[in-house]
Structure formats: structure tokens, C-alpha cells
Amino acid sequence: MINLLSVGYSKLFKNLAFRVCLIIMAALPMFLTAVSVSKTAPGSGPLNGIYNTGMIFIGLLIGAFVSVYISQDHSEKTLNNKIMAGYSRAVIYLADFIVTVSGALMMQLMCILASSLIAVPARGMYTEPFADAVKQQFILFCVVAVYTALVLLICTVINSKAHAVAVSLMAVMVMLIAGISVYDMTVRKGEAPAASTEVTTEDKVVKTLYNVLPQSQMYAVMEEHIPADAAKMICYDAAAIAVMTAAGIVIFKKKDIK
């Protein structure tokens, strides 16, 4: 496993898609932070939580980078070398997951760093408790890991690099739109005058989806900083990662490699 991780990391840092995604995760938060800075009056205080703004599109970037990274292993047949070297398929899959999730984490950290490079000198150091910031980042990391597990699963099912990239991006896009929609429904519901205190089945479904969907979790973190259902969200994420990874390993084990 350690040997595979070593190979994976050295390949990751040489991967063009990963490098481009890192650059985007630096440029986009910087731009969004600069816009926020320009909209607030000088001396208006620190921009707490601004470092999360650039995370909105991280799912798409993960979709692009993970699918290119993993599919390259299939298309260049370098995956064959790992199997022929005697590694079990479960170990190969887990090593890929660890490497790609680390790459996604680096993108998340890059987002924080890039935003802070603009926000802190312009409006001063953040004043929110450090522990809260860490909790927020942990929830966002869980979201990032769910996206990574999803894309890895897609790339295991689909062999063709072009198809894997396209399907991954589409899947992430669907998650993104679903997350936005559910978040929007939940927020509107909260803002509407309470006609009745009765909780309908539809409310329950929307609330569950709100807690389950990674993109709505992301919005929740951005809006509420520490969402009320944070623990539930983390549990849902852990379950989703476990289910998708287990499914991926089972499929990969049975797969005929060409």
C-alpha cells in the first residue's frame, strides 16, 4: 500500500489536470474575495468565513481532476503494472481513493490560503473561533471526500477516459443542481410565514435531502457556518463514502481488465 501511495503521489504532482485545478482553486477564491472586499467599506471588520466562498465549484474540479487522473491509469494501462506486481485490487482502489482525496484536500487548503491572502491584509485577521473554523473545514472535507468517492466509482465502472470524464462532470453537475434546489427550497420554507406547524412528508424528504446532498451541506456551511445538523451530515457523508467505496471495490474486483 505504501509503495502504491508513493507512486500515486508522485504521479499526482505531475498530473496536469491536478495542477490546473489547483491554480483554479487559487484564482477563483482570490477573485471572489477581491469582489467581497470591494463591496465592503474599509474598516468594516474581518471577512469571517470568506475562505469558504471558493468551495462552491470544488465538486466540478474534483470531477475533472479525479476522472482524468484515474482514467489515465486505465487508458495508459499503467493499472496493469499494479495488478501484475501482485497488489490486490482492493488495495489498488483504496490507494487511489487516498491519493485523490488528498489531492482534493490540497485544493480545499489552497482555497483557504488564496482567500486569506486577499481578505486578511485587506480587512484584518478573522475573529471567529478557530475551533469553529476547523469544524467547518471538516464538514467541507467530508463533502469533498463524497465527491471523490463518487467520481472514483464512476471511473471504475466506465473504462473510456472521455466517457468517464464526461459522466463524472455530469454526475457532479446533477449533485450540484440538486443541492442548490434543495437548499433553496429549505431556505424559502424557513423564510415563509409559518402557516402551519405541521411537518409534512415532503418537509421530511426535503430536510433529509438537505442533510444528505453534499452541495446543500456546502451551502449550509457557508450560510450557517456550523449547521444545526452537522453531526447528521457527517454521518451521512461517512455512510455515502463507505457504500460507494465498497461498491467500487466489488465492481473493480470482478472487472476484466484489458
Binding to other proteins (CB under 8 A) within 8-37 occurs at 10-11, 14-16
Closer to other proteins by Cβ: residue 84 or 131: 84
Does position 165 bind other proteins by CB under 8 A?
A: no
- Tell me which of 40, 44, 80, 160 binds other proteins, using CB under 8 A: 80
Does position 64 bind other proteins by CB under 8 A?
A: no
Does position 160 bind other proteins by CB under 8 A?
A: no
- Indicate if the alpha-carbon torsion angle 147, 153, 156, 160 is positive or negative: negative
Does position 88 bind other proteins by CB under 8 A?
A: yes
- Tell me which of 23, 27, 35, 83 binds other proteins, using CB under 8 A: 83
Closer to other proteins by Cβ: residue 17 or 234: 17
- Tell me which of 42, 86, 190, 193 binds other proteins, using CB under 8 A: 86
Q: How far is the CB of 74 from other proteins (least distance, A)?
A: 11
Does position 6 bind other proteins by CB under 8 A?
A: yes
Long-range contacts of 42-47 (CB under 8 A, 24+ apart): 44/123, 45/123, 45/124, 45/127, 46/119, 46/120, 46/123, 46/124, 46/125, 46/126, 46/127, 47/119, 47/122, 47/123, 47/126
Q: Helix 214-224 and helix 130-157: axis angle, to 10°?
A: 170
Does position 3 bind other proteins by CB under 8 A?
A: yes
- Tell me which of 13, 19, 45, 76 binds other proteins, using CB under 8 A: 76
Which of the ranges 30-38, 83-91, 158-166, 229-237 carries the binding residues for other proteins, by CB under 8 A? 83-91
Residue numbers at the binding site for other proteins (CB under 8 A): 2-4, 6-7, 10-11, 14-16, 76-88, 256-258
